[in-house]
Amino acid sequence: MSVIVRFAPSPTGRLHVGNVRTALLNHLFVREQGGEFILRIDDTDLERSTEEYENGIREDLSWLGLEWDSSFSQSRKFDAYDAAASKLREMGLLYACYETAEELDKQRKLQRVAGKPPIYNRASLELSDDQKEEYRREGRLPHWRFKLSGGIVTWNDLVRGEQSIDTSSLSDPVLIRGDGSYLYTLPSVVDDIDAKITHVIRGEDHVTNSGAQIEIFRALSDHLPEFAHTPLLVGKDGKGLSKRLGSLSIAQLREDGLEPMAICSLLGKIGTSDPVEIRDNMQVLASEFSFDKVSRAPARFDEDELAMLNAKLLNNMPYERVKERLDDLGVQGGEDFWKLIRANINKFGETAGWSVMAFAPMAGQIEPEDAEFCALAADALSDELDADSWGKWTSYLKETTGRKGKSLFMPLRMALTGRARGPEMDKMLLILGAEKTKARLRGQTG
């Protein structure tokens, strides 16, 4: 059996780390299985769904490397949903309800007082045709509920193990609103049947929904996918991320300079038994993925950990993978310069600053008490530089001035780079060259 999965975002906003983790786990699973990854755009909410957000979703997934094999939009399948709704009505499993929101709220309160679960009491099933006609004359538009069996629904969840839902403890779910628009449940089931989805991989907040959805699957078809409900993301403090999702959108992380594989490495490893380590390509991540490794505990998303992984990825990235990006930023120096600075950057955009330092004219930063020492250093530097020049030069300055350690090296570093930390100075000296080095040591622009 060919594995087919789907990721189903709604184009009502940009993707954030929470729903991207769901996309990633679908992608890793299906790529390891050699199956098909479908991008389904859940745009049945025509008022809130926009083309801009849909394009943003596609852009974010492509940037992350989560390419899909096929795609479709729910807004083009209303005929299929209408046909499914008609079938359920004919089976007596989809029935009209006329209660207002206020009446439903009152009903729930009365049930709580009576010690009963606050679920829908199915009063609309007892309505006569005359009563329904009276409601229609009042202008009430019916919403439509699916009639649950009241039995136990069980399945073997690939993450949570054996699961059971007592549908007698649930309200019959509303599938169609009073204005005729569809809620998530029915279109999702219809699409999973039509696309022959073999595995539904999603967050554990859908576990209870699965009981009702499985009954709808069984009513409409013989097809039933397997389910995997993964723990939700929390912050490093253990609290939910819902209030911070704007700052954790993929668009924002991209704008902040994070690398796609740093994000995917973190999201692919947190909440599993694997150590959180950087991976430089999706193939390796996919080969290491297994539902057996996914923990039942919440997955902790730590932005500090993401920053660390991002720096580690860049610190080991070969020149061939960044050459075009360096050219786009106007960074000079080629492979030698990249190898020199990569261990000193946390985000790729920082390369531009190092390039300006190394190749653009700038005056050295010299403290007054170090001016005489730096001028002496300029006079002592040979016009011909090689790999041994830094060591010979600083040894001479140490013997001549008596300076050593920080008092010897820090004034030179600050005069030449304007930074207290950075790449190895023996190599930086060769990048700068003798003329520029001497000018900066003398407090001149070089």
Q: What is the mean pLDDT of the chain?
A: 95
For 54-97, the DSSP string reads HHHHHHHHHHHT---SEEEEGGG-HHHHHHHHHHHHHTT-EEEE
Cα–Cα distance for residue pair 128/118, rounded to 1 Å: 24
142 or 237, which is more confident? Answer: 142
How far apart are alpha carbons 5 and 291 in whole angstroms? 14
Q: Which of 83, 82, 7 is nearest to 41 (CA)?
A: 7
Residue identified by tokens 């209408």 is 82
Looking at the DSSP assignment, which residues form a beta bridge with residue 228? 201
Q: Is the pLDDT of residue 243 over 60?
A: no
pLDDT at 239 over 90: no
Token pair listed for 349: 């955009």
Residues of the chain above pLDDT 90, percent = 93
pLDDT digits (tens, 9 = 90+) for 88-129: 999 999 999 999 989 898 998 888 888 888 999 999 999 999
Half-sphere exposure (CA, 13 Å, Cβ side) for 418?
15
Nearest by Cα to 125 from 88, 155, 98, 90: 98
What pLDDT, on the 0 to 100 scale, is given for residue 113?
87
Least confident of 114-118, 122-126, 221-225, 442-446: 114-118
* Percent above pLDDT 70 for the chain: 99
Neighbouring residues of 420: CB distance < 8 A, sequence distance ≥ 6: 410, 413, 414
Q: List beta partners, residue 73.
A: 41
Could you tell me if 190 and 80 are in contact, meaning their C-beta atoms sit under 8 angstroms apart?
A: yes
- Bridge partners, residue 154, by sequence: 164
- Report, in this order, helix, strand and coil percent for the chain, each rounded to 5: 50, 15, 35
Q: What confidence score (pLDDT) does residue 244 get?
A: 58
Mean pLDDT of 369-383: 97
DSSP characters for 341-407?
HGGG-SSGGGHHHHHHHHHS--B----GGGHHHHHHHHHHS-SS--TTHHHHHHHHHHHHH---THH
Q: How many CB atoms sit inside 10 A of residue 315's CB?
A: 13
Rounded Cα–Cα distance for residues 27 and 32 (Å): 9
Q: Which CATH class is domain 235-243+255-315?
A: mainly alpha
Q: How far is CA 232 from CA 246, 267, 289, in A?
A: 17, 11, 17
- Predicted local confidence at residue 147, as pLDDT: 98
pTM: 0.91
What is the per-residue pLDDT across 404-431, written as a single tens digit (0 to 9) for each? Answer: 999 999 999 999 999 999 999 999 999 9
SS3 state of residue 240: strand
Bridge-based pairing state of the strands 152-157 and 161-166 = antiparallel
Alpha-carbon distance of 279 to 262, in angstroms, equals 8
Average pLDDT on 278-299 reads 96
The CATH-assigned architecture of domain 368-441 is: Orthogonal Bundle (1.10)
pLDDT at position 247 over 90: no
- Residue 384 reports pLDDT greater than 60: yes
Q: Give the CATH architecture of domain 4-73+184-234.
A: 3-Layer(aba) Sandwich (3.40)
Distance between alpha carbon 9 and the CA centroid of its chain, in Å?
Answer: 12
Q: What's the confidence (pLDDT) of residue 242?
A: 63
pLDDT band, very low/low/confident/very high, at 30 (cuts 50, 70, 90): very high
Architecture of the 80-176 domain: Alpha-Beta Complex (3.90)
Q: Where are the domains of the chain?
A: 4-73+184-234, 80-176, 235-243+255-315, 319-352, 368-441
Contact predicate 322/283, CB 8 Å: no
Average pLDDT over every residue of 137-154: 96
